[in-house]
Amino acid sequence: MALASMVAVSLSDAQVAVLRLEMPAAPVSTGETITIPIVIDGVTNLGAFDVQVSFDPAILKAEKVEAGPFLGSSGRQVNCPHVSADKGSVRLTCVTLGATPAGPNGTGVLATVVIKPVAAGTSPLRFERLQLTDPPAHLLVVQGEDSSLTVVRGSEDGFAWALWGPVIGVSALILVAAAVSAARWARRRRGP
C-alpha cells in the first residue's frame, strides 16, 4: 500500500505536459488543403514522442505528417523511424539519441499534419496514441486535448464557373446583340 501511495503522489506532483492541435478558427471548405500543428505545452527535457491522431475518413483525408522543429530545438539530432498517413489516422514516432544535450523545455510545434477536407461535416480529431519520454527513455506525464474540425461545402462542390462561365458570357453577348438589332429595326420602322 505504501508503494501505491508513493506512485500516486509522484504522479500527482509531476508536471503534466499538454498536447493539443492548433485548429483553424473558422470552418474550412472542401477542396482546401490545411496544415494543423500539433503543439506541446509545458514539457521538460523531451527526448522522444510517439503520437497518433485519428479522424473521420469520410470527411478528412490525410496528405502527410511530419516532425516539427521543437524536438531538435535544443541541438539534439532527430530521427523519425515511423511516419504514416493512413485512412482515418496519422502517426509519427520521433526519437533523439545520446545523453547530451538535454531535450527541449516549454512549448513548441511537435509535428504538423496536412489534411484535405473531402466532404462537409464535423470530424473529431482524437489522440489515439500519446507517449513522450525524456532522453534516458523515462515516460513523461502528458495529457492530450482532442478537438474537432468543421468542414463546409467548397466552391468546387457548388456552381461550376469554369464550365458555365463561358456559356453564360456567350449567352449574354447574344442577348446584347439581339437587343441592339431589335433597337435598330424599331428605328428603321419608325422612319426618319
Give pLDDT tens digits for 111-145. Answer: 999 999 999 999 999 999 999 999 999 999 999 99
Same domain, 110 and 124: yes
What pLDDT score does 162 carry?
45
Place of cell 453564360: 168
Higher pLDDT, residue 7 or 33 = 33
How far is residue 76's CA from residue 103's CA, in Å, rounded to a whole number? 7
pLDDT tens digit string along 48-92?
999 999 999 999 999 999 999 999 999 999 999 988 888 999 999
41 vs 125: CA distance, rounded Å: 18
Question: Scanning the structure block, which residue is given the C-alpha cell 456567350?
Answer: 170
Same domain, 41 and 131: yes
Tell if the pTM clears 0.85, that is, is over it.
no
Our count of domains for the chain comes to: 2
β-strand partners of 144:
19
Q: What is the pLDDT of residue 167?
A: 60
Structural domain containing residue 180: 159-192
* 170 shares a domain with 75: no
> What confidence score (pLDDT) does residue 147 get?
93
- Within this chain, do residues 126 and 181 fall inside the same structural domain, yes or no? no
Phi, psi of 120 (to 5 degrees): -70, 145
Q: Give the whole-angstrom CA distance, residue 111 versus residue 94.
A: 10
